Homo-oligomer: A and B are copies of this chain.
Amino acid sequence: MSTSPDLKRLSLNQITTNSWTLPEAVTGCKQAGLAEIALWRDKVQAYGLKKSSQLLADSGLHISSLCRGGWFPAGSQKERQVRIDDNRRAIAEAAELGTDVLVLVCGPATDKDIAGAREMVAEAIATLLPEAEQAGVRLGIEPLHPMFAADRSVIVTLAEANALVERFNSPTVGVIVDAYHVWWDPDIYTQIARAAGHILGFHISDWPVPLPNVLLGRAMMGDGVIEIRRLRMAVEATGYNGPIEVEIFNREIWDSPGESVLEQIKARYLAHA
């Protein structure tokens, strides 16, 4: 249990250094010696898709994923179509950037019918699947913590995400395992094993006690109670040896200089991941 993962697998999820523009994040990763980065669509758009694509190609950084597609449930067929169209653009952006993973945050219900919203998620993925296949972009369903069930994702357990993946039975659909979202689950190690062969990403951060805030509460690895290494080793036991993204929504970290955040990330990754 005491072996650190290879630093080559460490990926900076761009949200962790939220105050950095895309070029700043790329430069930061290069200077810190990282090999991987995960991008956010809004930051790519701010810099321009073509320029971003060129910048990343020149940098030599591998893009572990693009965040994010999803947000599927809506109150009308018309609005659901708008969401589908936006996801089509996200798939095209991922392909243009040269990453093969689009992270899906599936979205909340628009009314009290959470079961109905879950069906809308399945329908939307079915609709997008042929296009994603053709673009060579895999869809990574990320179950969020159940505290986000009402405002961000009706998919809140790895069991649900696994069931969706099994329903499609396509190499183009898989799951993202984020330690912060799944650590509490009494069934998590069974579900990680069940996800063997379709884990498209592994995200880490930590859960501080007490949790200061629902959205921005997550912490740097080592500053909370999550058994990150145990989760990482379970994910590896399935055969996943891909990027490990550090994804932290935290105002204090956002307000810190990106360079020092990256240095801390490297140290904490080696100590806790």
Contacts and interface: CB of A to CB of B under 8 A. Distances in A.
A109 B149 CA distance: 24
Contacts of A149: 183-184
A150 interface: yes
A120 to B, nearest CB: 14
Nearest to A186: B160
Main secondary structure of the interface of A (DSSP, over half): loop
A224 B187 CA distance: 28
A228 B28 CA distance: 49
Q: How many copies does the complex hold?
A: 2
Interface stretch (A54-62, A65-73, A204-212, A244-252): A204-212
B186 A118 contact: yes
In this complex, the member of A146, A185, A209 whose beta carbon has the largest number of chain B beta carbons within 10 angstroms is: A146
Contacts of A183: 114, 149
Interface string A192-234: 0000000000000001011100100000000011110000000
B186 A159 contact: yes
Nearest to A113: B227
A142 B87 CA distance: 40
Contacts of A210: 150-151, 214
Contacts of A112: 225-227
Contacts of A156: 184-186
B214 A151 contact: no
A145 interface: yes
Nearest to A181: B146
Nearest to A110: B225
A125 B183 CA distance: 24
- Which 3 pairs from chain A and chain B are nearest by CB? A149-B184, A147-B147, A146-B184
12 contacts: A111-B225, A112-B225, A112-B227, A145-B147, A146-B146, A146-B147, A149-B183, A150-B207, A157-B185, A159-B187, A160-B186, A210-B214
